A and B are shown apart, each in its own frame.
Chain A
């Protein structure tokens, strides 16, 4: 009963936020009187129309790029992060390298990626992978480093192998931190995606938006912006749900 009430309250708060957002948008649009910021209803109509056209295709390409990048980054960063976090000897050797390279804005390497890997998907995907890789790596390493000693000792006293420790202790124990870093990384990934898609490409939502801009097709441009925003939102919700499902022990 109380739980149902809480749920209803949450849904209501969410709807209210959406309403406030739409209202602000509507006011902004009325105030600016610019074709670049259409009224919400007009924008919604043009979004539906654009989706029937090319937009869906571009959206699909972008989604593919960002999902593959995040997947690659996770597969690379999580095992390495745990390895560094649980083994101080290796960590001491690698830490200076991380320290030196972490603050470099990796996005400036985009031109190099374009030259070396060409203008296809791989340069974009690898650029996003590289950037999110760092975020996930550092968070995972810190989480593994802070793993309670008791967990490791009690596992070892059961005669556990390294793989057992990995599977039963480090991976599940670091998972909340990993998913948090993924949620943070998602924002970065989408921003980098947009940038990467505005150069030397004919596909992707970034291209679509900039192409509309150059053709002064503001309606479609705005539809593209909303589509990208919604894509980000749904990916975020997806990760949020994944966290609730995979880390149910935190949400008791």
Chain B
């Protein structure tokens, strides 16, 4: 039996809001092998972001077991986080945004220079190095966010609705781009999305989450993910429909229909 790179068992997270205890996640079990991609899909308020905060080491007040490569999550480790609005700092240039993580890890100026140049070059961002995020298009900003994560050579990449604000065409471009990165680096990727096609295109394993309190409703194995040619093919569409039916069933159930 292969050991999972990421494994979560009976995760339970509560937080206080105006004196009331709210359960954000309950009995969440999730596992992902090294070098695979997982996608979390579900409606708003199902605790997806809470889950990510735990994985990124931003929240250590949880019950249950969370192991990333056998260790409890912590900030600044082998996990990189890319957030919804990219989390790029508008007051830093592309270059300064990308080198930030290296600076925090106390790399020498020489290492910083060479590593950042390499990654920017690879992602075709070198000509934009001196620009500020506000001077970039949505797709370019997304690439910078990916560059900033990759420059730290992470083992696990967490992406919280990374493509939600991109137009359809750019979105597909960046999805392809992410696939390319994944194939080249062998990263383990866990991604949150609202988009069914995106989930089927990118996720080897799809976790359907439901709210009240947040839990995993269904796990869908989707080994066909990771193929550029997948979009529009019959199995792809069938898988999309299957996933859609899971999500709708859940919705009807919640609405009491």
Residues of A within 8 A of B (CB): 148, 150-151, 153-160, 164, 168-169, 172-173, 175, 247, 249, 252
Closest Cβ of chain B to A130, distance in Å, is: 30
What residues on B are CB-neighbors of A159 within 8 Å? 57, 74-77, 104-105
B67 at the interface (CB under 8 A from A): no
Cβ contact within 8 Å between B104 and A160: yes
B101 at the interface (CB under 8 A from A): yes
Cβ contact within 8 Å between B56 and A153: yes
Alpha-carbon distance between A175 and B77 when the two chains are bound, in angstroms: 30
Alpha-carbon distance between A144 and B190 when the two chains are bound, in angstroms: 31
What residues on B are CB-neighbors of A169 within 8 Å? 89
Per-position binary interface string of chain B over residues 84-106, scored 1 when its CB falls under 8 Å from any chain A CB and 0 otherwise: 11110111100000001100110
What residues on A are CB-neighbors of B152 within 8 Å? 158
Alpha-carbon distance between A12 and B175 when the two chains are bound, in angstroms: 51
Cβ contact within 8 Å between B81 and A154: yes
What residues on A are CB-neighbors of B100 within 8 Å? 155, 158, 168
4 tightest A-B CB contacts, nearest first: A159-B76, A154-B87, A157-B81, A172-B91
B181 at the interface (CB under 8 A from A): no
Main secondary structure of the interface of A (DSSP, over half): helix
Cβ contact within 8 Å between A150 and B83: yes
Alpha-carbon distance between A150 and B84 when the two chains are bound, in angstroms: 8
Return the contact of A249 from the options B58, B75, B81, B90 (Cβ within 8 A). B90
Per-position binary interface string of chain B over residues 30-67, scored 1 when its CB falls under 8 Å from any chain A CB and 0 otherwise: 00000000000000000000000100111000000000
Alpha-carbon distance between A74 and B77 when the two chains are bound, in angstroms: 36
B80 at the interface (CB under 8 A from A): yes
What residues on B are CB-neighbors of A168 within 8 Å? 89, 92, 100
Cβ contact within 8 Å between A252 and B87: no
Q: Which of B74, B83, B92, B105 has the most CB of A within 10 A?
A: B83
B195 at the interface (CB under 8 A from A): no
How many residues on the B side are at the interface (Cβ–Cβ under 8 A)? 29
Return the contact of B134 from the options A153, A154, A158, A252 (Cβ within 8 A). A252
Closest Cβ of chain B to A240, distance in Å, is: 18
Cβ contact within 8 Å between A151 and B75: no
- Could you list some 12 contacts between A and B, CB below 8 A? A148-B85, A153-B58, A153-B81, A156-B57, A157-B58, A158-B75, A158-B152, A159-B76, A160-B76, A164-B104, A249-B92, A249-B132
Cβ contact within 8 Å between A153 and B104: no
Contact of A247 with B75 at beta-carbon distance under 8 Å, contacts A154-B81, A157-B57, A158-B101 already known: no
What residues on A are CB-neighbors of B90 within 8 Å? 249
Alpha-carbon distance between A169 and B89 when the two chains are bound, in angstroms: 8
Cβ contact within 8 Å between B75 and A156: yes
Cβ contact within 8 Å between B105 and A252: no
Return the contact of B91 from the options A150, A153, A160, A247 (Cβ within 8 A). A247
Alpha-carbon distance between A252 and B90 when the two chains are bound, in angstroms: 11
B185 at the interface (CB under 8 A from A): no
Which residue from chain A places its CB closest to the CB of B96 in the assembled complex? A168
Alpha-carbon distance between A77 and B134 when the two chains are bound, in angstroms: 29
Cβ contact within 8 Å between B91 and A157: no
